[in-house]
Amino acid sequence: MENHTKDSTMNVSSLNCIDLSNDDLHNSVISLKQACLDCGFFYVINHGINEEFMDDVFEQSKKFFDLPLEEKMKVLRNEKHRGYTPVLDELLDPVNQVNGDHKEGYYIGIEVPKDDPHWDKPFYGPNPWPDADVLPGWRETMEKYHQEALRISKDIARLLALALDLDVDYFDRTEMLGKPIATMRLLRYQGVSDPSNGIYACGAHSDFGMMTLLATDSVTGLQICKDKKATPQKWEYVPPIKGAFIVNLGDMLERWSNGFFKSTLHRVLGNGQERYSIPFFLEPNHDCLVECLPTCKSESNLPKYPPIKCSTYLTQRYNETHAELSIYHQQT
């Protein structure tokens, strides 16, 4: 009852909704640009993935997390950031959180086989997969979803290019999204968050990369803070919409666009219900140099950030937020 009372007075954000099947490109770009300047969050609909397939992906995700912990530990996250991440593995907001996030995860990236000349780069490589006898069809479902999410993310990147006054295929170039570091992450949240005691399902953060395509189930939990400098901070719930993705811009795009587009602080509060989500993080090629876009600088608006290689930036951010892998090896 108490929760219900709180819910009825809670702040809910209303975000722009981009229809990817809309033929009026001009209209879509205007709406997208407004969202990117305002808060860096928007919904995407009519993206071409059907709901039955989405339900299947979530069902398979649940099957993995329902396995006994020792089975999940067999595919523990490796040094390439692929595989299972146990509860508390990630700490996103050390100032306000007492422990790590109350969530479990499973990272899946682009499969780069060991005979590929680039396989040994930090975020490339083969994925670990749960035993096919334990979870038949699991790998196939996840690989198909990864492909679809990449296709949609690239469609959105075209709209972003137009919103930034760049050529529509600017980010499609080989050295940009030709061989991207595109990583999806299955997530399961459990428990009740207690912000006044530093307990969060997912601590406040902005995403590291270019953009994130987020699929969620119907359980509310995601919140955004449009103005990180306001005191006290004002948090608004982003309600899930069946069939829509929630898309948000990451720090790499904020940097790339010289601060023109915003990456917004967000977090997740657990309400006691199990909650599943699947963020898909799009970042450019490993070697892509993220330096101020040509349309985002002028004589009176010089680049604010030095150029940085995509993988260098990401490695730094992952190392700051994830536990040392050695802690798990000491335990076993």
Please answer whether residues 211 and 247 qualify as being in contact, where contact means their C-beta atoms are separated by less than 8 angstroms: yes
244 or 293, CB closer to ligand OGA?
244
The binder of 284, among Ni ion, ligand OGA, none, by C-beta within 5 to 8 A per type, is none
104 or 296, CB closer to ligand OGA?
104
Distance CA 111, CA 278 (A): 18
Of 20, 18, 2, the closest CA to residue 10 belongs to 2
Structure tokens of 32? Answer: 């997208």
Please answer whether residues 282 and 213 qualify as being in contact, where contact means their C-beta atoms are separated by less than 8 angstroms: yes
Among residues 186, 199, 202, 225, the one that binds ligand OGA under rule CB under 6 A: 202
Count of residues in contact with ligand OGA, rule CB under 6 A: 10
Stretch that binds Ni ion, among 44-52, 205-213, 227-235, 254-262 (CB under 5 A): 205-213
- What CA–CA distances, in Å, run from 94 to 101, 221, 326? 10, 20, 20
CA of residue 63 relative to chain centroid, distance = 21
Cross-strand bridge partners of residue 237: 12, 223
The answer for 234, left when phi > 0, alpha when psi is -120 to 50, beta otherwise, is beta
The binder of 257, among Ni ion, ligand OGA, none, by C-beta within 5 to 8 A per type, is none
Distance CA 128, CA 46 (A): 32
207 makes contact with Ni ion (CB under 5 A) = yes
Of 234, 235, 236, 239, the closest CA to residue 214 belongs to 239
Parallel, antiparallel, or unpaired: how do β-strands 17-19 and 41-45 relate? Answer: parallel
Interface map 116-155 toward ligand OGA (x if CB under 6 A): ----------------------------------------
264 makes contact with ligand OGA (CB under 6 A) = no
28 or 61, CB closer to Ni ion?
61
Stretch that binds ligand OGA, among 116-124, 161-169, 214-222, 307-315 (CB under 6 A): 214-222
Closest approach of Ni ion to the CB of residue 200, in Å: 12
Give kind and range of the element (H or E) at residue 145.
Answer: helix 138-163
2 contacts: CB under 8 Å, gap ≥ 6: none
127 or 277, CB closer to ligand OGA?
277
254 makes contact with Ni ion (CB under 5 A) = no
264 or 285, CB closer to Ni ion?
264
107 or 170, CB closer to Ni ion?
107
217 makes contact with Ni ion (CB under 5 A) = no
Stretch that binds Ni ion, among 64-72, 132-140, 192-200, 204-212 (CB under 5 A): 204-212
207 makes contact with ligand OGA (CB under 6 A) = yes
Mapped onto helix, strand or coil, the DSSP state of residue 66 is coil
The binder of 213, among Ni ion, ligand OGA, none, by C-beta within 5 to 8 A per type, is none
Q: What sign has the CA pseudo-torsion 115, 116, 119, 123?
A: negative
Please answer whether residues 83 and 128 qualify as being in contact, where contact means their C-beta atoms are separated by less than 8 angstroms: yes
Stretch that binds Ni ion, among 202-210, 235-243, 254-262, 294-302 (CB under 5 A): 202-210
Binding footprint of Ni ion on the chain (CB under 5 A):
207
Binding site residues, ligand OGA, CB under 6 A = 187, 202, 207, 214, 216, 222, 266, 268, 277, 279
